[in-house]
Amino acid sequence: MSFNITKTSQKRVVIVGGGFGGLQLANKLHQSGFQVVLIDKNNHHQFPPLIYQVASSGLEPSSISFPFRKLFHSYKDIYFRLAEARQLYPDKKVLQTSIGKIEYDYLILAAGTTSNFFGNKRIEEAAMPMKTLSEAMGLRNALLSNLERSITCATSQERRELLNVVIVGGGATGVEIAGAIAEMKRYVLPKDYPEIDPSNLHIFLIEAGSRLLSGMSAESSREAEKFLRRMGVNIYLNKRVTDFLEHKVILEDGMEIPTRTFIWVSGVRANEIANLPQEAIGRGGRILVDAYNRIKGMENIFCIGDQCLMTADKHYPEGHPQLAQVAIQQGKLLAENLKRLERKKEMRPFHYKNLGTMATIGRNKAVAEFNTVKTQGWFAWILWLVVHLRSILGVRNKMNVLLNWIWSYFTYDQSLRLIIYAQKAKEVREREERESKVHWGEKTPE
Protein backbone atom coordinates (compact mmCIF):
# COMPACT_ATOMS: atom_id res chain seq x y z
CA MET A 1 0.00 0.00 0.00
CA SER A 2 1.09 3.57 -0.56
CA PHE A 3 -0.30 7.06 -0.20
CA ASN A 4 -0.10 7.51 -3.94
CA ILE A 5 0.77 11.20 -3.70
CA THR A 6 3.59 12.39 -5.94
CA LYS A 7 6.15 14.56 -4.20
CA THR A 8 6.35 17.96 -5.85
CA SER A 9 8.85 20.78 -5.46
CA GLN A 10 6.52 22.01 -2.70
CA LYS A 11 7.39 21.07 0.85
CA ARG A 12 5.02 18.46 2.25
CA VAL A 13 3.12 19.02 5.50
CA VAL A 14 1.59 15.86 6.93
CA ILE A 15 -1.17 16.44 9.48
CA VAL A 16 -2.32 13.58 11.71
CA GLY A 17 -5.93 14.14 12.74
CA GLY A 18 -8.71 16.32 11.31
CA GLY A 19 -10.19 17.63 14.53
CA PHE A 20 -10.51 21.32 15.36
CA GLY A 21 -6.75 21.89 15.36
CA GLY A 22 -5.72 19.80 12.35
CA LEU A 23 -8.56 21.07 10.18
CA GLN A 24 -7.85 24.69 11.06
CA LEU A 25 -4.19 24.19 10.19
CA ALA A 26 -4.98 22.49 6.88
CA ASN A 27 -7.37 25.25 5.84
CA LYS A 28 -4.89 27.99 6.73
CA LEU A 29 -2.11 26.26 4.78
CA HIS A 30 -4.22 26.21 1.63
CA GLN A 31 -2.54 28.16 -1.18
CA SER A 32 0.59 28.90 0.79
CA GLY A 33 2.97 26.81 -1.28
CA PHE A 34 2.80 23.61 0.75
CA GLN A 35 1.56 20.20 -0.26
CA VAL A 36 -0.76 19.31 2.62
CA VAL A 37 -1.64 15.70 3.47
CA LEU A 38 -4.29 15.21 6.15
CA ILE A 39 -4.78 11.72 7.53
CA ASP A 40 -7.59 10.70 9.84
CA LYS A 41 -9.03 7.34 10.89
CA ASN A 42 -12.49 8.68 10.05
CA ASN A 43 -13.50 10.03 6.64
CA HIS A 44 -15.24 12.95 8.31
CA HIS A 45 -14.63 15.81 10.73
CA GLN A 46 -16.64 15.53 13.92
CA PHE A 47 -18.04 18.16 16.25
CA PRO A 48 -17.37 16.77 19.75
CA PRO A 49 -19.27 19.46 21.71
CA LEU A 50 -22.56 18.02 20.45
CA ILE A 51 -21.75 14.32 20.48
CA TYR A 52 -23.72 13.95 23.70
CA GLN A 53 -26.87 15.01 21.84
CA VAL A 54 -26.38 12.09 19.47
CA ALA A 55 -26.17 9.78 22.48
CA SER A 56 -29.43 11.21 23.83
CA SER A 57 -31.26 10.83 20.49
CA GLY A 58 -31.37 14.59 20.05
CA LEU A 59 -29.31 14.86 16.91
CA GLU A 60 -28.39 12.77 13.88
CA PRO A 61 -24.74 11.72 13.65
CA SER A 62 -24.60 13.28 10.20
CA SER A 63 -25.68 16.66 11.54
CA ILE A 64 -22.43 17.04 13.43
CA SER A 65 -20.02 15.42 11.02
CA PHE A 66 -18.69 16.60 7.70
CA PRO A 67 -16.80 14.50 5.10
CA PHE A 68 -13.21 15.72 4.67
CA ARG A 69 -13.29 15.18 0.94
CA LYS A 70 -16.29 17.45 0.61
CA LEU A 71 -14.50 20.08 2.70
CA PHE A 72 -11.51 19.99 0.38
CA HIS A 73 -13.42 19.92 -2.93
CA SER A 74 -11.80 23.08 -4.22
CA TYR A 75 -8.46 22.69 -2.40
CA LYS A 76 -6.19 21.02 -4.92
CA ASP A 77 -3.17 21.33 -2.63
CA ILE A 78 -4.78 19.41 0.24
CA TYR A 79 -4.89 15.60 0.10
CA PHE A 80 -6.99 13.44 2.41
CA ARG A 81 -6.13 9.86 3.29
CA LEU A 82 -8.14 7.49 5.48
CA ALA A 83 -5.41 6.06 7.71
CA GLU A 84 -4.11 5.71 11.25
CA ALA A 85 -0.67 6.95 12.30
CA ARG A 86 1.50 4.23 13.84
CA GLN A 87 5.12 5.19 14.28
CA LEU A 88 7.65 7.96 13.72
CA TYR A 89 11.01 7.71 11.95
CA PRO A 90 12.29 11.24 12.71
CA ASP A 91 15.73 10.66 11.22
CA LYS A 92 14.23 9.40 7.96
CA LYS A 93 11.46 12.03 8.07
CA VAL A 94 8.98 9.21 7.54
CA LEU A 95 5.64 8.45 9.20
CA GLN A 96 4.40 4.87 9.35
CA THR A 97 0.63 4.51 9.00
CA SER A 98 -1.97 1.79 8.56
CA ILE A 99 -1.83 2.32 4.78
CA GLY A 100 1.93 2.55 4.45
CA LYS A 101 4.78 5.01 4.93
CA ILE A 102 4.81 8.66 3.97
CA GLU A 103 7.67 11.16 3.84
CA TYR A 104 7.18 14.62 5.26
CA ASP A 105 9.00 17.91 5.52
CA TYR A 106 6.85 18.99 8.42
CA LEU A 107 4.81 16.59 10.52
CA ILE A 108 2.04 17.85 12.77
CA LEU A 109 0.38 15.58 15.32
CA ALA A 110 -3.18 16.68 16.04
CA ALA A 111 -4.66 13.33 16.99
CA GLY A 112 -6.36 14.47 20.18
CA THR A 113 -7.18 12.23 23.10
CA THR A 114 -8.89 8.98 23.95
CA SER A 115 -10.89 7.86 26.98
CA ASN A 116 -8.81 7.15 30.05
CA PHE A 117 -9.84 4.13 32.10
CA PHE A 118 -6.85 4.47 34.41
CA GLY A 119 -5.75 0.96 33.61
CA ASN A 120 -8.84 -0.85 34.86
CA LYS A 121 -9.66 -3.48 32.21
CA ARG A 122 -13.03 -4.39 33.70
CA ILE A 123 -14.14 -0.77 33.62
CA GLU A 124 -12.81 -0.38 30.07
CA GLU A 125 -14.76 -3.44 28.96
CA ALA A 126 -18.10 -2.56 30.53
CA ALA A 127 -18.13 1.23 30.38
CA MET A 128 -19.57 3.21 27.50
CA PRO A 129 -17.39 6.19 26.65
CA MET A 130 -18.64 9.09 24.56
CA LYS A 131 -15.58 10.40 22.75
CA THR A 132 -16.55 9.38 19.24
CA LEU A 133 -19.71 9.33 17.14
CA SER A 134 -19.65 5.53 17.03
CA GLU A 135 -19.51 5.42 20.80
CA ALA A 136 -22.35 7.93 21.05
CA MET A 137 -24.46 5.88 18.65
CA GLY A 138 -23.62 2.75 20.61
CA LEU A 139 -24.69 4.49 23.79
CA ARG A 140 -27.94 5.62 22.18
CA ASN A 141 -28.67 2.04 21.14
CA ALA A 142 -27.78 0.70 24.59
CA LEU A 143 -29.88 3.28 26.46
CA LEU A 144 -32.94 2.49 24.35
CA SER A 145 -32.61 -1.28 24.38
CA ASN A 146 -32.03 -1.24 28.15
CA LEU A 147 -35.32 0.61 28.55
CA GLU A 148 -37.06 -1.96 26.33
CA ARG A 149 -35.47 -4.75 28.30
CA SER A 150 -36.44 -3.29 31.68
CA ILE A 151 -40.06 -3.98 30.76
CA THR A 152 -39.60 -7.65 29.97
CA CYS A 153 -36.66 -8.72 32.12
CA ALA A 154 -36.94 -11.65 34.48
CA THR A 155 -35.98 -10.29 37.90
CA SER A 156 -36.52 -7.05 39.79
CA GLN A 157 -32.77 -6.98 40.38
CA GLU A 158 -32.13 -6.89 36.64
CA ARG A 159 -34.84 -4.26 36.28
CA ARG A 160 -33.09 -2.00 38.77
CA GLU A 161 -29.80 -2.51 36.95
CA LEU A 162 -31.45 -1.60 33.65
CA LEU A 163 -33.08 1.54 35.02
CA ASN A 164 -30.00 2.95 36.73
CA VAL A 165 -27.92 5.23 34.53
CA VAL A 166 -24.50 5.91 36.00
CA ILE A 167 -22.39 8.70 34.55
CA VAL A 168 -18.81 8.89 35.79
CA GLY A 169 -17.15 12.26 35.32
CA GLY A 170 -18.56 15.68 36.19
CA GLY A 171 -16.93 17.68 33.42
CA ALA A 172 -18.87 19.42 30.67
CA THR A 173 -19.69 16.15 28.87
CA GLY A 174 -20.88 14.45 32.05
CA VAL A 175 -23.01 17.42 33.04
CA GLU A 176 -24.49 17.71 29.54
CA ILE A 177 -25.34 14.03 29.09
CA ALA A 178 -26.79 13.89 32.63
CA GLY A 179 -29.03 16.84 31.79
CA ALA A 180 -30.06 15.35 28.45
CA ILE A 181 -31.02 12.01 30.00
CA ALA A 182 -32.86 13.78 32.82
CA GLU A 183 -34.94 15.59 30.18
CA MET A 184 -35.53 12.30 28.35
CA LYS A 185 -36.81 10.89 31.65
CA ARG A 186 -39.10 13.84 32.16
CA TYR A 187 -40.48 14.50 28.68
CA VAL A 188 -40.05 11.31 26.66
CA LEU A 189 -40.23 8.36 29.05
CA PRO A 190 -43.86 8.87 30.16
CA LYS A 191 -45.02 9.00 26.54
CA ASP A 192 -42.75 6.36 25.02
CA TYR A 193 -42.68 3.89 27.90
CA PRO A 194 -45.97 4.00 29.81
CA GLU A 195 -44.92 0.62 31.24
CA ILE A 196 -42.03 2.26 33.09
CA ASP A 197 -42.61 4.32 36.21
CA PRO A 198 -40.30 7.32 35.64
CA SER A 199 -39.52 7.46 39.35
CA ASN A 200 -37.77 4.11 38.90
CA LEU A 201 -35.28 5.56 36.43
CA HIS A 202 -32.35 6.85 38.47
CA ILE A 203 -29.59 9.00 37.04
CA PHE A 204 -26.29 9.15 38.94
CA LEU A 205 -23.50 11.61 38.23
CA ILE A 206 -20.28 10.65 39.98
CA GLU A 207 -17.36 13.08 40.23
CA ALA A 208 -14.04 12.37 41.92
CA GLY A 209 -13.36 16.06 42.49
CA SER A 210 -15.10 18.40 44.88
CA ARG A 211 -17.23 20.12 42.24
CA LEU A 212 -18.75 19.76 38.77
CA LEU A 213 -17.27 21.65 35.78
CA SER A 214 -13.93 22.05 37.52
CA GLY A 215 -12.77 23.90 34.43
CA MET A 216 -15.16 26.74 35.19
CA SER A 217 -15.74 29.05 38.14
CA ALA A 218 -17.11 27.84 41.46
CA GLU A 219 -20.20 29.93 40.76
CA SER A 220 -20.89 28.08 37.50
CA SER A 221 -20.27 24.76 39.25
CA ARG A 222 -22.85 25.61 41.90
CA GLU A 223 -25.39 26.68 39.32
CA ALA A 224 -24.89 23.55 37.21
CA GLU A 225 -25.23 21.40 40.32
CA LYS A 226 -28.41 23.24 41.34
CA PHE A 227 -29.92 22.85 37.85
CA LEU A 228 -29.12 19.12 37.72
CA ARG A 229 -30.39 18.37 41.23
CA ARG A 230 -33.63 20.15 40.39
CA MET A 231 -33.90 17.89 37.33
CA GLY A 232 -33.61 14.88 39.61
CA VAL A 233 -30.00 13.85 38.96
CA ASN A 234 -28.26 12.21 41.91
CA ILE A 235 -24.91 13.94 42.20
CA TYR A 236 -22.07 12.40 44.16
CA LEU A 237 -18.95 14.55 44.58
CA ASN A 238 -15.58 13.46 46.00
CA LYS A 239 -16.40 9.88 45.01
CA ARG A 240 -13.90 7.81 43.09
CA VAL A 241 -15.01 4.80 41.02
CA THR A 242 -12.61 1.94 41.61
CA ASP A 243 -14.15 -1.00 39.79
CA PHE A 244 -17.05 -2.57 37.89
CA LEU A 245 -18.21 -6.04 38.91
CA GLU A 246 -21.32 -8.02 37.88
CA HIS A 247 -23.26 -4.99 36.68
CA LYS A 248 -22.21 -2.92 39.69
CA VAL A 249 -20.19 0.27 39.80
CA ILE A 250 -17.94 0.04 42.87
CA LEU A 251 -16.95 3.24 44.64
CA GLU A 252 -13.86 3.76 46.78
CA ASP A 253 -15.94 4.09 49.93
CA GLY A 254 -17.51 0.68 49.27
CA MET A 255 -20.82 2.00 47.93
CA GLU A 256 -22.19 0.05 44.95
CA ILE A 257 -24.54 1.19 42.23
CA PRO A 258 -26.11 -1.58 40.15
CA THR A 259 -26.35 -0.56 36.50
CA ARG A 260 -26.24 -1.76 32.92
CA THR A 261 -25.86 1.75 31.54
CA PHE A 262 -22.41 2.71 32.71
CA ILE A 263 -21.32 5.91 30.98
CA TRP A 264 -17.66 6.84 31.31
CA VAL A 265 -16.67 10.45 30.62
CA SER A 266 -14.05 10.74 33.32
CA GLY A 267 -10.80 12.00 31.97
CA VAL A 268 -8.89 11.43 28.78
CA ARG A 269 -5.36 10.61 27.79
CA ALA A 270 -3.51 11.79 24.70
CA ASN A 271 -3.38 9.40 21.77
CA GLU A 272 -0.01 7.69 21.46
CA ILE A 273 2.42 7.38 18.62
CA ALA A 274 5.40 5.03 18.68
CA ASN A 275 9.03 6.19 18.74
CA LEU A 276 8.70 9.42 20.70
CA PRO A 277 11.41 9.77 23.35
CA GLN A 278 10.01 9.19 26.83
CA GLU A 279 11.11 12.69 27.95
CA ALA A 280 8.71 14.14 25.36
CA ILE A 281 5.70 12.66 27.14
CA GLY A 282 4.07 14.62 29.96
CA ARG A 283 0.99 14.50 32.18
CA GLY A 284 -1.88 12.37 30.81
CA GLY A 285 0.29 11.14 27.96
CA ARG A 286 0.30 14.65 26.48
CA ILE A 287 3.23 15.41 24.20
CA LEU A 288 5.46 18.20 25.51
CA VAL A 289 5.90 21.11 23.13
CA ASP A 290 7.64 24.48 23.25
CA ALA A 291 6.00 27.85 22.73
CA TYR A 292 5.84 27.13 18.98
CA ASN A 293 4.15 23.72 19.46
CA ARG A 294 7.37 22.05 18.41
CA ILE A 295 7.87 18.69 20.10
CA LYS A 296 10.73 18.64 22.61
CA GLY A 297 13.91 17.48 20.90
CA MET A 298 12.34 17.25 17.44
CA GLU A 299 13.42 19.25 14.45
CA ASN A 300 10.28 19.62 12.35
CA ILE A 301 7.64 17.65 14.20
CA PHE A 302 4.93 19.65 15.93
CA CYS A 303 1.93 18.77 18.07
CA ILE A 304 -1.22 20.86 18.61
CA GLY A 305 -4.50 20.65 20.49
CA ASP A 306 -5.53 18.22 23.21
CA GLN A 307 -2.69 15.89 22.34
CA CYS A 308 0.02 18.36 23.37
CA LEU A 309 1.09 20.02 26.61
CA MET A 310 2.62 23.50 26.44
CA THR A 311 3.93 25.08 29.64
CA ALA A 312 5.60 28.05 27.98
CA ASP A 313 2.42 30.16 27.85
CA LYS A 314 2.97 32.37 30.92
CA HIS A 315 -0.70 32.51 31.95
CA TYR A 316 -0.94 28.72 31.69
CA PRO A 317 2.19 27.32 33.38
CA GLU A 318 0.33 24.04 33.96
CA GLY A 319 -0.59 23.81 30.29
CA HIS A 320 -3.79 24.80 28.54
CA PRO A 321 -7.23 23.30 29.15
CA GLN A 322 -8.11 20.69 26.52
CA LEU A 323 -10.66 22.78 24.64
CA ALA A 324 -11.60 23.31 21.01
CA GLN A 325 -10.53 26.96 21.18
CA VAL A 326 -6.96 26.11 22.20
CA ALA A 327 -6.62 23.66 19.32
CA ILE A 328 -8.10 26.11 16.82
CA GLN A 329 -5.83 28.95 17.91
CA GLN A 330 -2.76 26.70 17.88
CA GLY A 331 -3.61 25.40 14.41
CA LYS A 332 -4.01 28.95 13.17
CA LEU A 333 -0.71 30.14 14.61
CA LEU A 334 1.20 27.07 13.50
CA ALA A 335 0.05 27.64 9.92
CA GLU A 336 1.49 31.14 10.14
CA ASN A 337 4.68 29.88 11.78
CA LEU A 338 5.29 27.26 9.10
CA LYS A 339 5.01 29.98 6.50
CA ARG A 340 7.43 32.12 8.51
CA LEU A 341 9.88 29.24 8.71
CA GLU A 342 9.82 29.00 4.93
CA ARG A 343 10.51 32.72 4.68
CA LYS A 344 13.36 32.20 7.18
CA LYS A 345 11.51 34.40 9.63
CA GLU A 346 11.28 33.80 13.34
CA MET A 347 8.24 31.91 14.61
CA ARG A 348 5.81 33.59 16.97
CA PRO A 349 5.15 32.00 20.38
CA PHE A 350 1.63 30.85 21.26
CA HIS A 351 -0.56 32.72 23.73
CA TYR A 352 -4.05 31.36 24.38
CA LYS A 353 -6.83 33.90 24.14
CA ASN A 354 -9.66 32.60 26.31
CA LEU A 355 -12.89 33.35 24.44
CA GLY A 356 -14.93 31.88 27.25
CA THR A 357 -16.31 28.51 28.22
CA MET A 358 -19.84 27.23 28.49
CA ALA A 359 -21.84 24.12 29.25
CA THR A 360 -25.52 23.43 28.74
CA ILE A 361 -27.62 21.51 31.22
CA GLY A 362 -30.99 21.49 29.53
CA ARG A 363 -33.79 23.58 28.06
CA ASN A 364 -33.12 27.20 28.95
CA LYS A 365 -30.38 26.08 31.28
CA ALA A 366 -26.69 26.69 30.71
CA VAL A 367 -23.67 28.29 32.31
CA ALA A 368 -21.27 30.56 30.45
CA GLU A 369 -18.16 32.55 31.33
CA PHE A 370 -16.36 35.23 29.38
CA ASN A 371 -13.32 36.60 31.17
CA THR A 372 -14.98 38.47 34.02
CA VAL A 373 -18.55 38.08 32.82
CA LYS A 374 -20.49 35.10 34.13
CA THR A 375 -24.05 34.25 33.20
CA GLN A 376 -26.42 31.39 33.85
CA GLY A 377 -29.83 30.16 32.80
CA TRP A 378 -31.78 31.20 29.77
CA PHE A 379 -29.41 33.78 28.33
CA ALA A 380 -26.39 31.53 28.72
CA TRP A 381 -28.37 28.80 27.00
CA ILE A 382 -29.15 31.00 23.99
CA LEU A 383 -25.49 32.00 23.87
CA TRP A 384 -24.52 28.34 23.95
CA LEU A 385 -26.88 27.54 21.06
CA VAL A 386 -25.62 30.43 18.92
CA VAL A 387 -21.92 29.81 19.55
CA HIS A 388 -22.19 26.10 18.76
CA LEU A 389 -24.43 26.58 15.76
CA ARG A 390 -21.95 29.06 14.32
CA SER A 391 -19.05 26.65 14.69
CA ILE A 392 -20.71 23.69 12.99
CA LEU A 393 -19.38 23.14 9.47
CA GLY A 394 -21.66 23.33 6.47
CA VAL A 395 -24.87 25.21 5.77
CA ARG A 396 -26.80 21.97 5.53
CA ASN A 397 -25.60 20.80 8.93
CA LYS A 398 -26.29 24.17 10.53
CA MET A 399 -29.79 24.02 9.06
CA ASN A 400 -30.27 20.45 10.25
CA VAL A 401 -29.14 21.09 13.79
CA LEU A 402 -31.19 24.28 14.03
CA LEU A 403 -34.33 22.55 12.75
CA ASN A 404 -33.75 19.66 15.15
CA TRP A 405 -33.34 22.01 18.06
CA ILE A 406 -36.40 24.08 17.21
CA TRP A 407 -38.40 20.92 16.66
CA SER A 408 -37.45 19.37 19.98
CA TYR A 409 -37.82 22.66 21.80
CA PHE A 410 -41.46 22.98 20.87
CA THR A 411 -42.43 19.30 20.71
CA TYR A 412 -40.34 18.26 23.75
CA ASP A 413 -39.65 15.26 21.61
CA GLN A 414 -37.57 13.81 18.83
CA SER A 415 -38.22 10.88 16.55
CA LEU A 416 -34.61 9.74 16.53
CA ARG A 417 -34.95 7.06 19.16
CA LEU A 418 -33.77 4.30 16.83
CA ILE A 419 -31.79 1.21 17.66
CA ILE A 420 -29.72 0.68 14.52
CA TYR A 421 -26.34 -0.91 13.89
CA ALA A 422 -24.59 -0.73 10.55
CA GLN A 423 -23.78 -4.18 9.27
CA LYS A 424 -20.11 -4.70 8.51
CA ALA A 425 -19.41 -6.20 5.09
CA LYS A 426 -16.97 -9.12 5.02
CA GLU A 427 -14.67 -7.17 2.71
CA VAL A 428 -14.42 -4.32 5.23
CA ARG A 429 -13.97 -6.61 8.24
CA GLU A 430 -11.10 -8.44 6.58
CA ARG A 431 -9.40 -5.21 5.50
CA GLU A 432 -9.56 -3.82 9.02
CA GLU A 433 -7.96 -6.97 10.37
CA ARG A 434 -5.18 -6.74 7.77
CA GLU A 435 -4.49 -3.08 8.51
CA SER A 436 -4.56 -3.47 12.27
CA LYS A 437 -1.58 -5.80 11.75
CA VAL A 438 0.48 -2.98 10.22
CA HIS A 439 1.82 -2.02 13.61
CA TRP A 440 4.90 -0.36 14.98
CA GLY A 441 7.97 -2.43 14.35
CA GLU A 442 6.26 -4.57 11.69
CA LYS A 443 7.09 -3.74 8.14
CA THR A 444 4.42 -2.31 5.88
CA PRO A 445 3.05 -4.33 2.99
CA GLU A 446 4.44 -2.11 0.27
| Residues 6 or more apart in contact with residue 101 via CB below 8 angstroms | 2, 89, 94, 95, 444, 446
Residue closer to a copy of itself, measured from CB, 74 or 372? 74
- The residue from 20, 34, 52, 66 that contacts a copy of itself (CB under 8 A) is 66
CA dihedral 335, 336, 338, 342 (to 10 degrees): 140
Residue type, 211: R
Residues 240-269 that bind a copy of itself (CB under 8 A): 247, 260-262
Residue closer to a copy of itself, measured from CB, 346 or 432? 432
**Is residue 437 a contact residue for a copy of itself (CB under 8 A)?**
no
Q: Say how far apart CA 358 and CA 381 lie, in whole Å.
A: 9
Taking Cα atoms as reference points, which of 175, 160, 318 lies closest to residue 237? 175
- The residue from 25, 29, 38, 128 that contacts a copy of itself (CB under 8 A) is 128
The minimum distance between CB 173 and a copy of itself, in angstroms, equals 16
The minimum distance between CB 192 and a copy of itself, in angstroms, equals 4
Residues 396-425 that bind a copy of itself (CB under 8 A): 396-397, 399, 403, 407, 413, 415-425
Q: Which range in 24-32, 212-220, 233-241, 426-434 contacts a copy of itself by CB under 8 A?
A: 426-434
Query: Any long-range contacts for 392-395 (C-beta under 8 Å, 24+ apart)?
Result: 392/47, 392/50, 392/63, 392/64, 393/45, 393/47, 393/66, 393/71, 394/66
The minimum distance between CB 135 and a copy of itself, in angstroms, equals 5
Q: How would you classify the pairing of strands 301-303 and 248-251?
A: unpaired
Q: Say how far apart CA 113 and CA 115 lie, in whole Å.
A: 7
Q: Which range in 10-18, 110-118, 121-129, 165-173 contacts a copy of itself by CB under 8 A?
A: 121-129
Residue closer to a copy of itself, measured from CB, 104 or 227? 104
The minimum distance between CB 372 and a copy of itself, in angstroms, equals 39
The minimum distance between CB 9 and a copy of itself, in angstroms, equals 20
**Is residue 31 a contact residue for a copy of itself (CB under 8 A)?**
no
Backbone dihedral angles phi then psi of residue 350, each to the nearest 5 degrees: -90, 135
Helix (H, G, I), strand (E, B) or coil at 113: strand
Residues 183-212 that bind a copy of itself (CB under 8 A): 191-195
Residues 138-167 that bind a copy of itself (CB under 8 A): 138-142, 144-146, 148-149, 151-154
Residues 280-339 that bind a copy of itself (CB under 8 A): none
Are 206 and 170 in contact, with CB atoms under 8 Å apart? Answer: yes
**Is residue 135 a contact residue for a copy of itself (CB under 8 A)?**
yes
Q: Say how far apart CA 361 and CA 385 lie, in whole Å.
A: 12
**Is residue 434 a contact residue for a copy of itself (CB under 8 A)?**
no
| Residues 6 or more apart in contact with residue 157 via CB below 8 angstroms | 258
Which stretches of 153-282 are DSSP H helices? 156-163, 172-183, 189-192, 218-230
- The residue from 99, 177, 273, 298 that contacts a copy of itself (CB under 8 A) is 99
The minimum distance between CB 70 and a copy of itself, in angstroms, equals 6
